[in-house]
């Protein structure tokens, strides 16, 4: 079945370490997104990509990096520069990033900094 797969579901990190969250989709969607969710707040956009080999910063990109080398994959790296990385991270995709379209989400990855 088509969908979005995020891994790992749970991840623990020591301070000062970089970690990479995986996001893979087999929906043939052009656009992919990374969101961060904190308790009591709405989802916030970290990075998005409308096409392979291109991506843009969202509202809270500092301390994060991404790549889009393949259409199916949009990994997110949480670097040591991110001061408060403990959060729930959601990856999403849509057919096209240029127009309003339905979003499809993964199951999320919960990152905890020890």
Nearer to other proteins, 49 or 82 (CB): 49
Nearer to other proteins, 16 or 42 (CB): 42
Answer for which of 58, 65, 75, 79 binds other proteins (CB under 8 A) is 58
Q: Does 50 bind other proteins (CB under 8 A)?
A: yes
Q: Which of 84, 78, 6 is nearest to 39 (CA)?
A: 84
* Dihedral angle sign, alpha carbons of residues 79, 80, 82, 86: positive
Please state, as a whole number, how many other Cβ atoms lie within 10 Å of the Cβ of residue 7. Answer: 13
Q: Does 63 bind other proteins (CB under 8 A)?
A: no
Q: Does 54 bind other proteins (CB under 8 A)?
A: no
């Amino acid at each position: 079945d088509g969908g979005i797969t995020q891994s790992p579901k749970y991840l623990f990190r020591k301070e000062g370490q970089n970690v990479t969250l995986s996001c893979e989709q087999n929906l043939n969607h052009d656009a992919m997104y990374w969101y961060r969710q904190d308790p009591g707040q709405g989802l916030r956009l970290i990075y998005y990509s409308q096409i392979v080999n291109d991506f843009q910063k969202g509202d809270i990109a500092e301390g994060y990096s991404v790549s889009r080398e393949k259409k199916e994959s949009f990994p997110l790296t949480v670097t040591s520069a991110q001061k408060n990385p403990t959060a729930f991270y959601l990856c999403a995709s849509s057919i096209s990033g240029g127009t309003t379209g339905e979003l499809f989400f993964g199951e999320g990855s919960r990152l905890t900094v020890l």
